């Protein structure tokens, strides 16, 4: 009978863990989708003060219920050069505080029972309510809300199964005797770290510890040390993300590991001194039992929160020293970082937080748009002055535009298949394929213009002063169009799009005027036919550049049509 009970309890525990993990994923993806705009605004402010960084990490993790996702996303930001190591460190500090929200929710669900309805049963019922909303509602917002409620309810269904398996284990004297022997704090920390590393979820480890403490399977002190170990085990996700990323990403992962290990070391040493000075009569368990009597689930959940808050308070002033230390541990290589081509604002680590990845995708495209304009300016300057000193820089930027074109499309394909993206963001991603191509074509036409300059150089000729004046005026119009098109794209403004359309029409008219003036100069002998051919090609290609710029702005029409 004992063997059957043990096998049944183990299977029930596995079922509970599975449901709990799925519930966490459901809540995380739907919460991300529901709060995507706010999350974008939140992490765009990550470059502020250190306390703000801690607050961003705390709120962001509490919002999406995943410290792992926050940490991986932060590593992606560091790898892309968006935030510094010090800023990333403070966000990670906050993520450790934010992850304690799950433990508090689980503790809340463990009240009641006996002659009253337990909160676990009440909260579990949300799974059914949310499922009906997600399945039968036609509104996207209601489906998302249903997904959040269903995930929340399933969290407690999984918790109920885990608690039930613990009750069965607690009825077996052999199991209780075995667990009681595991009293060494260091061993308990190691067990908590290993188990968390295996399942890659500190929330599950903490919830299991809560269930074991409440059912009397282990003591509060044992649960506390298991929970401390889960903080170390949670670093595995960040380490995996850091290994596959750049040097600063590796440093960020190391900061996460050092931070979590430091907190455990400090609390372990403090526990040792408390035991020595009180002859073993006082421990963390007795302290929290005194502070929160009669509620073991609250005792452990509150320790988890206080542990992370105190660790942040202790480590925050030492952030600069921590950053310097990891920089020495992982030094720069002899190969310049600039020689490694990579996207500026996104990498695959950001795929774990799709709404933020969408926002960074737009930043990548606008950055690409600026690069294309820079190369257009260089091409115009080269053909106007016949000075080729910027040719090498021009070629490097063109190479980068081609790289972004290919790499960003590959990233968007991966991102489009992710869950937790709002309908608006899905529509936006569908426009990016054409937009990236339009921007890349601007660079290609700039290459054509430089080639026309090469032809003029071979012929030993150059444009007339009148032609150069017309080119300078056309360049001003292109800049005006760029400014309006970029604002329309970034702000999704139909008013800016209308203004951009007007400038694009002016460019069409002006290029026709340039052609007419060129024919007149030919008849007057001011220009030669060969020079004139390059001039007409320049005018035509610049008009096409304007077409591609306006196409970038017009991409917002799809988004505006959907919102109506």
Would you kindly state where each structural domain of the chain is located, as residue ranges? 2-329, 348-563
- pLDDT for position 487: 95
- pLDDT for position 175: 62
Average pLDDT over residues 476-505: 95
- pLDDT for position 37: 57
Tell me if 448 sits within 8 A of 508, measured CB to CB: no
Name the token pair of 353.
Answer: 């937080």
Burial 512-538 (b: 16+ CB within 10 A, else e): eebbebbeebeeeebbeeebbebbbeb
- pLDDT for position 511: 93
- pLDDT for position 504: 95
| pLDDT > 70? residue 539 | yes
Name the token pair of 409.
Answer: 């499309």
What does the alpha-carbon distance between residue 77 and residue 368 come to, in Å, rounded to a whole number?
18
| pLDDT > 80? residue 469 | yes
Helical H segments across 292-422, by residue range: 296-315, 319-329, 354-385, 391-416
What is the DSSP secondary structure assignment for residue 353, as one 8-state letter? S
| pLDDT > 90? residue 136 | no
Average pLDDT over residues 463-467: 88
- pLDDT for position 321: 92
What is the CATH architecture assignment of 348-563? Answer: Up-down Bundle (1.20)
| pLDDT > 60? residue 393 | yes
- pLDDT for position 367: 93
Determine phi and psi for 528, rounding to 5 degrees. Answer: -90, 155
Name the token pair of 400.
Answer: 């980068």
Tell me if 143 sits within 8 A of 133, measured CB to CB: yes
User: What's the mean per-residue pLDDT of the chain?
Assistant: 83
- pLDDT for position 366: 94
Name the token pair of 446.
Answer: 């700039």
Q: How many residues does the chain have?
A: 564
| pLDDT > 80? residue 42 | no
What is the DSSP secondary structure assignment for residue 526, as one 8-state letter? S
| pLDDT > 60? residue 101 | yes
Average pLDDT over residues 69-96: 79
- pLDDT for position 355: 77
- pLDDT for position 334: 43
């Amino acid at each position: 009978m004992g063997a059957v009970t043990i096998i049944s309890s183990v299977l029930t525990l596995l079922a509970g863990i599975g449901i709990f993990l799925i519930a966490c994923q459901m809540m995380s993806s739907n919460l991300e989708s529901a709060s995507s705009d706010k999350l974008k605004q939140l992490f765009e402010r990550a470059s502020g003060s250190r306390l703000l960084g801690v607050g961003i990490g705390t709120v962001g993790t509490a919002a999406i219920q995943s410290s792992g996702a926050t940490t991986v996303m932060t590593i992606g930001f560091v790898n892309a050069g968006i935030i510094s190591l010090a800023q990333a460190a403070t966000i990670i500090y906050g993520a450790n505080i934010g992850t304690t929200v799950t433990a508090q929710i689980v503790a809340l669900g463990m009240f009641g029972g006996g002659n009253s309805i337990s909160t676990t049963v009440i909260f579990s019922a949300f799974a059914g309510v949310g499922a009906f909303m997600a399945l039968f509602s036609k509104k996207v917002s209601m489906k998302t809300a249903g997904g959040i409620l269903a995930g929340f309810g399933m969290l407690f269904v999984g918790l109920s199964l885990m608690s039930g398996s613990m009750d069965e284990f607690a009825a077996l004297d052999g199991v209780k005797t075995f667990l009681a022997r595991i009293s060494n704090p260091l061993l308990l920390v190691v067990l908590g770290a290993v188990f968390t590393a295996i399942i890659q979820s500190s929330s599950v480890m903490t919830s299991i510890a809560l269930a074991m403490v409440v059912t009397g399977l282990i003591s509060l002190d044992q649960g506390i040390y298991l929970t401390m170990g889960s903080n170390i085990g949670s670093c595995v996700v960040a380490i995996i993300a850091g290994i596959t990323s750049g040097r600063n990403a590796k440093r960020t992962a190391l900061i996460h590991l050092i931070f979590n290990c430091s907190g455990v070391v400090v609390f372990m040493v403090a526990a040792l001194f408390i035991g020595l000075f009180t002859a073993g009569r006082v421990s963390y368990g007795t302290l929290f039992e005194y502070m929160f009597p009669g509620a073991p689930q609250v005792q452990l959940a509150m320790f988890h929160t206080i542990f992370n808050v105190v660790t942040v308070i202790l480590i925050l002033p030492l952030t600069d020293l921590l950053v310097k230390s990891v920089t020495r541990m992982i030094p720069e290589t002899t190969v310049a970082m600039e020689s490694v081509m990579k996207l500026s604002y996104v990498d695959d680590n950001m795929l774990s937080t799709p709404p933020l990845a969408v926002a960074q995708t737009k930043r990548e495209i606008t950055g690409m748009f600026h690069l294309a304009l820079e190369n257009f300016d260089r091409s115009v300057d080269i053909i106007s002055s016949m000075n080729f000193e910027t040719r090498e820089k021009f070629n490097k930027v063109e190479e980068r535009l081609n790289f972004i074109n290919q790499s960003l499309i590959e990233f968007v394909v991966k991102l489009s298949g992710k869950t937790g993206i709002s309908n608006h963001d899905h529509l936006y991603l569908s426009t990016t394929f054409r937009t990236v191509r339009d921007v890349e074509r601007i660079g290609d036409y700039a290459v054509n213009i430089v080639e026309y300059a090469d032809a003029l150089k071979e012929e030993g000729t150059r444009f007339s002063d009148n032609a150069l004046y017309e080119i300078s005026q056309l360049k001003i119009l292109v800049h005006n169009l760029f400014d309006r098109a970029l604002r329309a794209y970034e702000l999704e403004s139909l008013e800016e799009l209308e203004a951009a359309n007007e400038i694009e029409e002016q460019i069409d008219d002006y290029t026709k005027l340039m052609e007419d003036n060129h024919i007149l100069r030919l008849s007057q002998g001011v220009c030669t036919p060969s020079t004139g051919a390059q001039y007409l090609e320049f005018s035509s290609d610049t008009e096409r550049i304007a077409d591609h710029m306006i196409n970038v702005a017009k991409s917002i029409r799809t988004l505006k049509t959907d919102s109506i």
